[in-house]
Structure 1
Amino acid sequence: MSKIEKVLATGKTHTTLSAAGTTSRGHNGNLDIVLSSPGSAKPAHEFSNALPHPTAEQLFAGAWSACYSAAVGLVAKELKVTLPADTAVDIEVDLGQTGNAYFLQARLTLRVPGLPQEVATQLAHEADQICPYSKATRGNIEVVLNAVTE
């Protein structure tokens, strides 16, 4: 895995859980999406504020954060942990360059206010193990995983 020397662009999303599914919002307001899980009777994907050109990194971060959020929910259920109402996932995906080569790197932050840090860390890491996007990137790009309880 190569280390990025120069970051060219960053796509950021903030994904919250709701009764209707998950909602991803880009950091600059260019991307609001209501997502549903496969097999769910809930409404399909809704791009409500995709102003003119969200970046590929932002779209990737949004899809990854929705999948990762679902994995967090599965792990929480398995561990019998009640997630706070304001549970959220922030993902930043950088496009960068080292020499003439281009690479991606990412930072995932699980926000679970009020949970003990050790529980939050366990949720974050176990969700990372089952999330298909995390599996696809594991060993291919540098990923930093954080859990925040404040």
Structure 2
Amino acid sequence: MNTVYSTTVTAVGGRNGTARSDDGLLDLRLAVPNGLGGKGGATNPEQLFGAGYAACFGNAVIHVTRNKENKIRDDDVEVVATVGMSPNGAGGFGLSVKLDVTIAGVDQASAEAIVADAHKACPYSNAVRDNIDVALSVNTR
């Protein structure tokens, strides 16, 4: 595979540590969330995954319409990612994701077709397919 981009992030201390990218643009504290019995007060891996997936999926929506008559612009798409964590029955945990996608300027049928195409194109969707339950909700405005 021809890699078009890569980055390196180092995490130290697990869920109660830090994460820093090699270019220093990402540099933050991590904490176990209150909902998992932690003290909270800092971001956590599920929030970071949700942010990455939402942003990437939004860009996939834009990407799949680039060569179409009704192009979706940056401000025309909003993606809200809800990431859940549940016991997997084997002593570990699994994730689930719900993506609520809102697209402006198109009808419902077009929005649903665009989101279906974006789900095929998005690197996050491709990475988690058949491994994480992903529910898609599509709205227009």
Give the TM-score band, short-chain normalised: 0.5 to 0.7
Tell me whether 1:148 sits opposite 2:103 in the alignment: no
Residues 1-150 of structure 1: pairs in structure 2 closer than 5 A: 52-83=41-72, 85-99=75-89, 100-150=91-141
TM-score (norm 1): 0.61
Whose relative contact order is higher, 1 or 2, with alpha carbons under 8 Å and at least 6 apart? 1
- Aligned residues, how many? 106
**Larger CA Rg, structure 1 vs 2:** 2
Q: Is the 8 A contact 2:61 2:77 kept in 1?
A: no
Q: Is the 8 A contact 2:76 2:105 kept in 1?
A: no
Gaps of 5+ in 2: 1-23, 31-39
Cα distance in structure 2, aligned partners of 1:45 and 1:61? 18
Considering fraction of residues, name the structure with more helix. Answer: 2
Amino acid at match of 2:131: N
Q: How big is the alpha-carbon RMSD for the aligned residues of Structure 1 and Structure 2?
A: 2.5
Shift of 1:87: 2.0
Indicate the percent of aligned positions where both proteins have the same amino acid. Answer: 29
Runs of 4+ in 1 over 6 A off after TM superposition: none
Match of 1:19 in 2: none
TM-score (norm 2): 0.65
Against the structure 1 CA distance between its residues 80 and 45, is the aligned structure 2 distance closer, same or farther, given a 3 Å change threshold?
farther
Against the structure 1 CA distance between its residues 78 and 144, is the aligned structure 2 distance closer, same or farther, given a 3 Å change threshold?
same
Considering fraction of residues, name the structure with more strand. Answer: 1
